[in-house]
A and B are shown apart, each in its own frame.
Chain A
Amino acid sequence: MQPKTKHSVVTRNWLYNCTKTITLFVFALMMSTTMICAQDHKGHNHDNHAGHDHSGHGHDHSGHGHDHSGHSHGGHAKDSHAAAKKAGGHAGHDHGSHGHDDHGHGDHDPNKNFNVNEMIMHHIMDSHEFHIAGDFSIPLPVILYVPGEGLKTFLSSKFEHGHKEVDGFAMHHGKVVSTKGYESADLLNLIGGSDKKLYYDFSITKNVFTMMLGALIMFIIFMLVAGAYKRRVGQAPKGLQSVMEPLFVFIQDEVAKPNIPHKWQKYLPFLMTLFFFILICNLLGLIPFFPGSGNVSGNIAFTFVLALIASLVVNFSANKHFWAHTLWMPGVPTAIKPVLGIIEFIGVIIIKPASLMIRLFANISGGHIIILSLVSLIFIFGKMGQSIPGVAVGSIVSTVFVLFMNCIELFVAFLQAFIFTVLTALYIGQAVEEPEHH
């Protein structure tokens, strides 16, 4: 039953694949829904089986037997924190901690069944260590600020992949969590407030690391190119310069100039930074191994900041004419003007940047989810390594589809960077447009 559910999830992924570009956001939502549903389902199973498991632990050998049979039933990994806790509660034993332990090891247990959802989420989400292969990860700096306790900085290797607790913090699934019940500050609980004590996590996570790397690459590339322009005044471009020039000229002539007719030069550096930063983060995300694979531009915080900055640029450059048009639309009945003004205001302040934010986030995350789902075909066809022909077929099918998807994603990487930039330019253009003289 369980594998069948997973199989259908992946098949569904594959089907969505074709219409991806149109239904990406819907897809991302559906993916999460499916995962949530699947998890619920699993949780129930765990309720039943985990009870056996835990009692098994108590009874030595027979317990092991149970454990194994549990495995051969296939599919219910002992992965879920919540489920394990729930199970502990249900069984009435004090095996909550066992659940934790199980879970801690679960990540690296080779016998453990392959969990598509978990694997995908693990790759999509940010992490405090850079997973390379197998058990090997590159530790990243953890920088935490706990009010009252001060700044804590150390390498994430100190956690020993979740085995060790450091200064009131532990690593759980590659993420740093407080063992004292503190909550990590994010945008939601900073604005909405929280009943728990907040700590501030400024760690150089996998995404921050990738972003810094991308920024560094971008910086080096453009300094070299700018140097080439300075050195070779009036000459034809050469080497790296001729690689970047078409892109630069494209953004300048096709994005900046048509959308911001008169003041394009003022906004050119911003649009260039936007385009190339998104592009390089998108492209780094497509590299399947270190130092790539970080889902930077598919992270909501990243897209949030870019959309926020874009929105600030738009709103601060908006002239009187724009605000007059937005808030008190000429040419409509006076009774409608206030309503329209509110709608337009919300549109400018919230909806436009939010659409920018969600579009980039959903497209890039969606692409990552699809590629990872397709890779998972190998494990699903091969029934987690039990069926060799299945592995062979899965590998072939998966390779073909992943290759295909990677080509599309390469295109999407450019396309999304372009769309973000062109829409920002469009919004700026609308905001700085001078009144027409009729």
Chain B
Amino acid sequence: MILLDALDLVRPALGLLFWTTLIFLLLWVLLGKFAFRPIANALRDREKGIDDALRSAEDARKEIANLKADNDKILAEAREERARIIKESEQMGQKIIEEAKEKAKEEARKVRENATADISNQKLAAIMQVKNMIGGSTVELAEKVLRRELSDAKSQEAFVEQEMQRIKLT
């Protein structure tokens, strides 16, 4: 009987063949359609979603890095600009001061020159006036002296003295 059993062990029974085929095919069709395919698709979609999310996160990170770099660049440029402007204005100021100084000096020089010229003109005019006056007075004195026939030298000298006293240099 055990011999028969051992043989039975490797005898595929019809009922089991039938049921196994039926159950397996049913599972294959039903689970394939309603479970395995949807699960595989869901997994694929999720994987794709995660991939996309990671990629976009990476992109965003890069973008932020770029933005920061840009900002830094702009900031540096601004700083440079500021430094340059300051430097330029300093130079400009210096220059303006220099120019002003220069101008002032020039002005002063001109004023001085004008003044000098004025002075010398005035001086010349004065001298001319003095000359003219002295000339006139001298002529007048000489006339007076000539008119009075001065007897002695003493009275002549006193007269000149007296006349000299009269001449007022106005």
Decide yes or no: A35 and B6 within 8 Å by CB, A80-B1, A226-B39 being known contacts.
yes
Indicate whether A154 reaches chain B with its CB closer than 8 angstroms. Answer: no
Decide yes or no: A186 and B13 within 8 Å by CB, A225-B35, A273-B36 being known contacts.
yes
Question: Mask for A201-234, Cβ within 8 A of B = 1, else 0?
Answer: 1111101100110010011001101100110011
Q: What residues on A are CB-neighbors of B6 within 8 Å?
A: 32, 35-36, 121
Indicate whether B124 reaches chain A with its CB closer than 8 angstroms. Answer: no
Decide yes or no: A309 and B24 within 8 Å by CB, A121-B5, A248-B43, A252-B43 being known contacts.
yes
Contact indicator B16/A277 (Cβ below 8 Å) = no
B1-56 CB contacts (< 8 Å) to partner A = 1-6, 8-21, 23-28, 30-40, 42-43, 45-46, 49
Contact indicator B21/A121 (Cβ below 8 Å) = no
Q: What residues on A are CB-neighbors of B46 within 8 Å?
A: 233-234
A75 to chain B, nearest CB (A): 15
Q: What residues on A are CB-neighbors of B1 within 8 Å?
A: 39, 79-83
Contact indicator B28/A270 (Cβ below 8 Å) = yes
Contact indicator A200/B42 (Cβ below 8 Å) = no
The count of A-to-B residue pairs whose CB atoms sit within 8 angstroms is: 159
Q: Classify chain A's interface size.
A: 35 or more
A271-315 CB contacts (< 8 Å) to partner B = 272-273, 277, 299-302, 304-306, 309
Contact indicator A218/B31 (Cβ below 8 Å) = yes
Indicate whether A434 reaches chain B with its CB closer than 8 angstroms. Answer: no
Question: How far is B96's CA from A430's CA once the two chains are assembled, in angstroms?
Answer: 92
Q: What residues on A are CB-neighbors of B21 within 8 Å?
A: 305, 309
Decide yes or no: A208 and B19 within 8 Å by CB, A83-B1, A124-B9, A226-B35 being known contacts.
yes
List chain B positions with a Cβ less than 8 A from chain A.
1-6, 8-21, 23-28, 30-40, 42-43, 45-46, 49
Query: Beyond A185-B14, A205-B15: 16 further Cβ-contacts under 8 Å?
Result: A35-B6, A36-B3, A83-B1, A126-B16, A187-B14, A201-B13, A205-B13, A208-B16, A215-B23, A215-B26, A219-B31, A268-B36, A269-B31, A277-B24, A304-B17, A305-B24
Give me the 10 closest cross-chain CB pairs, A-B, nearest first: A269-B32, A301-B16, A229-B42, A222-B35, A301-B12, A32-B6, A305-B20, A39-B2, A226-B35, A187-B12
